[in-house]
């Protein structure tokens, strides 16, 4: 992943310390994913599928964007690790909203919709290890991380239009 390179080459960590700290985003993701699923269930029970799932999806991605921007801009290497890891965690906070929305949107084709959604996520995940360092080399790490933050923010804004409880309307 690019995060290890960032920690060693940009933030000045040694190889072993960089490797140790490079686990932080994965730990954040492992913690935030089930918390987000729990929050999705609670909020959906109170507000319905449209608001519950969209609020978790939108807020999680917006908080990820903010965390990434702050992590990119801080001078403190340890604070950068914490904030960028929070960014990853907030992205994974949205997973429960994403997956449960596929069932809400298309009960009879939820598997197909989930497969399409997962393909999109894996496409982004497969491009990130190459695209992020390339963009950093071309324009600097703040720009590369800013692009990631913008993608997360765009995703969060798109949740304002997603209405899982209404289902998909096929013409």
pLDDT digits over 123-148, tens only?
988 999 899 999 999 999 999 999 99
| Domain assignment present for 74 | yes
Find the CATH number of the domain harbouring 101. 1.20.1250.20
What's the domain range around 113? 2-166
| Domain assignment present for 31 | yes
| Domain assignment present for 34 | yes
Q: How far apart are CA 15 and CA 44, in angstroms?
A: 44
Per-residue pLDDT at 168 exceeds 80 = no
Tell me what the pLDDT averaged over the chain comes to.
94
123 exposure class (CB count in 10 Å sphere: 0-12, 13-18, 19+): exposed
| Domain assignment present for 107 | yes
pLDDT digits over 37-70, tens only?
999 999 999 999 999 999 999 999 999 999 999 9
| Domain assignment present for 79 | yes
Phi-psi region of 162 (alpha: psi -120 to 50; beta: other; left: phi over 0): beta
Q: How far apart are CA 130 and CA 46, in angstroms?
A: 41
| Domain assignment present for 52 | yes
pTM, two decimal places: 0.92
Number of domains within the chain:
1
SS3 94: coil
| Domain assignment present for 160 | yes
| Domain assignment present for 171 | no
């Amino acid at each position: 992943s690019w995060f290890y390179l960032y920690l060693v080459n940009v933030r000045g960590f040694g190889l072993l310390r960089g490797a140790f700290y490079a686990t932080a985003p994965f730990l954040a993701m492992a913690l935030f994913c089930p918390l987000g699923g729990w929050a999705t269930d609670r909020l959906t029970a109170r507000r319905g599928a449209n608001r519950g799932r969209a609020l978790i999806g939108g807020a999680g991605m917006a908080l990820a964007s903010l965390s990434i921007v702050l992590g990119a801009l801080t001078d403190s290497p340890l604070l950068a690790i914490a904030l960028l890891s929070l960014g990853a965690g907030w992205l994974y906070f949205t997973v429960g909203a994403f997956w449960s929305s596929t069932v809400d949107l298309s009960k009879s084709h939820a598997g197909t919709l989930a497969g399409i959604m997962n393909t999109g996520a894996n496409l982004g995940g497969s491009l990130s290890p190459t695209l992020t360092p390339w963009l950093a080399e071309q324009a600097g790490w703040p720009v590369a991380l800013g692009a990631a933050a913008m993608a997360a923010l765009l995703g969060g804004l798109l949740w304002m239009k997603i209405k899982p409880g209404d289902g998909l309307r096929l013409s």
